[in-house]
């Protein structure tokens, strides 16, 4: 049997990030497994994309989690507030979408704190959800984030919607093959991902719901 490279990479990646959650394991109740999955969106809010995502989620009665860039929140506060008002959860994705492995922990935490100050300024509830941009940080940065009270959420299903080599067909193949009970699925509400993600999202929701998944936001 040939080993699956996607699975091997995912397992290696998870071993490097002991502070992070990649999948939320669900308990069995009455000998039946209640299947749950979590849709997450990185890099918004973006006026060309995020409203269309929200419309699709509303159409299917789904709540999700948006890991937002603080700078975008400052640019589009009304859109940020719409996400909150419609019952979705929001996570810290740093203020400028920075690469943690190219900066000191002090500078990185300044980005985290500036994001907190931004959401406080716009009157939204605080959050303990954090996702590092690009999914990468040094271990000592992850420790500092955890000490500040955050839970780091990564993913176990990456759609690669930002890649020009991807297509809705390839993305759906990934979702069908790798989604399990408790999976965290990663999309991007960004210009780079725009049409690929928007074409795939309704298909993904229909597939998951038809296979008994309840789609919930991270808390």
Assess whether 211 carries a catalytic annotation: no
Assess whether 97 carries a catalytic annotation: no
> What whole-number distance in Å separates Cα of residue 130 and Cα of residue 68?
10
Q: Of the candidates 62, 32, 22, which has an alpha carbon nearest to the alpha carbon of residue 209?
A: 62
101 and 136 in contact (C-beta within 8 Å)? yes
Q: Which element (helix H / strand E) includes 33?
A: strand 32-33
- In sequence order, what DSSP letters do the residues of 56-80 get, joined into one string? HHHHHT---EEEE-HHHHHH-HHHH
* Burial environment of residue 19 by CB neighbours within 10 A (0 to 12, 13 to 18, 19 or more): middle
* Active-site option among 97, 161, 188, 189: 188
∠ CA 105-106-110 to the nearest 5 degrees? 110
Cβ atoms within 10 Å of 70's Cβ, excluding its own: 24
* Active-site option among 42, 43, 161, 189: 42
Active-site residues, by number, are 42, 188
């Amino acid at each position: 049997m040939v080993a699956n490279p996607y699975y091997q990479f995912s397992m290696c990646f998870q071993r490097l990030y002991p502070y992070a959650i990649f999948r939320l394991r669900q308990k069995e109740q009455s000998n039946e497994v209640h299947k749950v999955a979590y849709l997450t969106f990185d890099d918004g809010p973006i006026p060309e994309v995020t409203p269309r995502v929200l419309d699709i989620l509303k159409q299917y009665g789904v709540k999700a989690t948006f890991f937002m860039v603080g700078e975008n929140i400052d640019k589009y506060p009304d859109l940020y507030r719409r996400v909150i008002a419609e019952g979705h959860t929001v996570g810290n994705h740093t203020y400028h979408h920075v690469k943690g492995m190219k900066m000191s922990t002090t500078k990185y935490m300044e980005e985290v704190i500036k994001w907190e100050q931004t959401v406080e300024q716009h009157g939204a509830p605080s959050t303990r959800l954090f996702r590092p941009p690009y999914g990468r940080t040094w271990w000592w940065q992850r420790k500092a984030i955890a000490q500040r009270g955050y839970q780091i959420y990564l993913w176990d299903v990456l759609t690669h919607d930002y890649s020009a080599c991807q297509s809705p067909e390839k993305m759906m193949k990934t979702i069908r093959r790798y989604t399990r009970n408790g999976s965290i699925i990663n999309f991007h509400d960004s210009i780079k991902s725009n049409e690929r993600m928007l074409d795939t999202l309704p298909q993904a929701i229909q597939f998951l719901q038809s296979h008994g998944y309840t789609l919930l936001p991270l808390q």
